[in-house]
Amino acid sequence: MTTLRNSILICLVLFMVVSCTKNYDYPNDLEDHSDDIENPVNDEYQIWKERVMPIVEGCTTHYDKAKAIFDWECANIAYDVSYSIYKAEECWNQRKGVCQAYSELFVKLAAHCDLEAVVISGKCRTLSHMDGDGDHAWVKVNTEKGWILIDPTWGAGYVSGGEFTFYYKAYWFDVDPALMIFTHFPDNYYDQRLQNPVTNEQFRSLPNVDPKVAFAGWNGHEVLGYFLNYLGESAPTFYLGFTESLGKFELVQVPFNGKMKVGQTYTLKIRSLAIEEGVSIGSWETNHYLVDWEQEGDLFTFVYSPETECEFHIAVGNNGIMKYDVTN
């Protein structure tokens, strides 16, 4: 009986071993169909790569790539006056967005052509926010020149009467940090890119000066140094004609301060860079044209002693470029 019981146990054990080691034909779907599985991360990378490569085609440096993306955005992305588009994907698809969308789109495109870029958030000074409390976003980009500051939103155009108008402004690319700080105050002080960062209180006391003045001969550090020493002073009013005339004149000697005093004498010097085209320098008071500019070659000089309160305007050719307020 014992022998029979042992024989049965041995048979059961052998059956279990054979059963556990039998080669069942389990389906191997992962192996057979792995090529059919989508990778959303890789797909997104490829999509953005295909978007940016035509934009930067022919660019051989990081700086050139940054300029190409800046130019593309300025030409193709409108400001969203409904203030509803904030993200890069929707900005690309809708071809419009607010400043956050412009900036995120720039960073997204840059990242897919081996270009390092970061969104900067902070406050800005505009005609509707002269005290510098407007919320804004712009970009810093790492190039062969180091980190440079750009604002593709302001480079693309302007909003007036609730409508956006494309108006390309190249001077919002690679902005001198000493001029950027007049209108852009970042949340992180190191994003000012200044050796001696400006405080929020100083920023709020600066006038509205934008980087186009650098294209007309003003040195950013000299301008910033002047207004930090004389906080609260205003700058001249710059007309649209200033931008339209860039490249045709150089401000050799004109006051940084936008206010002149009755009875004081000012010697103004402006160079015409288009003298061969007949572009000269002129000026007028409120309702009185002044013809006393002296010309020596391409340099025009005017000695001005205002006798009464008025507005003093300067023109390059037929374009008024800037205005000073004359007060007692």
Find the range with the poorest average confidence among 19-23, 138-142, 304-308. Answer: 19-23
Residue-wise pLDDT tens digits, 5-26: 545 444 444 444 444 444 434 3
List all residues 6 or more positions away from 240 whose beta carbon is below 8 Å from its beta carbon.
none
CB 164 within 8 A of CB 79: yes
How much is the pLDDT for 16? 45
Same domain, 197 and 56: yes
Summary mean pLDDT of the chain = 89
Residue-wise pLDDT tens digits, 176-194: 999 999 999 999 999 999 9
Same domain, 80 and 187: yes
Same domain, 273 and 172: no
Evaluate whether residue 269 is within a structural domain. yes
Same domain, 208 and 246: no
> 121 pLDDT exceeds 50?
yes
Same domain, 89 and 47: yes
Domain range for 228:
43-232
Bigger pLDDT: 291 or 256? 256
Evaluate whether residue 79 is within a structural domain. yes
* Banded model confidence at residue 161, pLDDT cuts 50, 70, 90: very high
Q: Which CATH number goes with the domain that contains 286?
A: 2.60.40.10
How much is the pLDDT for 41? 60
Evaluate whether residue 207 is within a structural domain. yes
> Among the three residues 232, 267, 302, which one is the final residue of a domain in this structure?
232
Q: For the whole model, what pTM was predicted?
A: 0.84
Burial 176-200 (b: 16+ CB within 10 A, else e): bbbbbbbbbbbeeeebbbeeebbee
> Among the three residues 232, 258, 275, which one is the final residue of a domain in this structure?
232
Evaluate whether residue 90 is within a structural domain. yes
Type and span of the H or E element at 238: strand 237-238
> 133 pLDDT exceeds 80?
yes
In 3D, which of 168, 182, 167 has the Cα closest to residue 213?
182
> 2 pLDDT exceeds 80?
no
Same domain, 153 and 165: yes
Q: Which CATH number goes with the domain that contains 49?
A: 3.10.620
First-to-last CA distance in the chain? 131
Same domain, 287 and 201: no
Residue-wise pLDDT tens digits, 236-272: 999 999 999 999 999 999 999 999 999 999 999 999 9
Same domain, 261 and 281: yes
Residue-wise pLDDT tens digits, 26-71: 334 434 444 444 455 678 999 999 999 999 999 999 999 999 999 9
Evaluate whether residue 26 is within a structural domain. no
Evaluate whether residue 305 is within a structural domain. yes
Count of structural domains, the chain: 2
Same domain, 216 and 119: yes
Same domain, 47 and 131: yes
Evaluate whether residue 247 is within a structural domain. yes
> Among the three residues 232, 256, 275, which one is the final residue of a domain in this structure?
232
Same domain, 274 and 312: yes
Evaluate whether residue 10 is within a structural domain. no
Same domain, 133 and 258: no
Burial 211-250 (b: 16+ CB within 10 A, else e): bbbbebebebeebbeebeeeeebbbbbbbebbbebbebbb
233: phi then psi, degrees, rounded to nearest 5: -75, 150
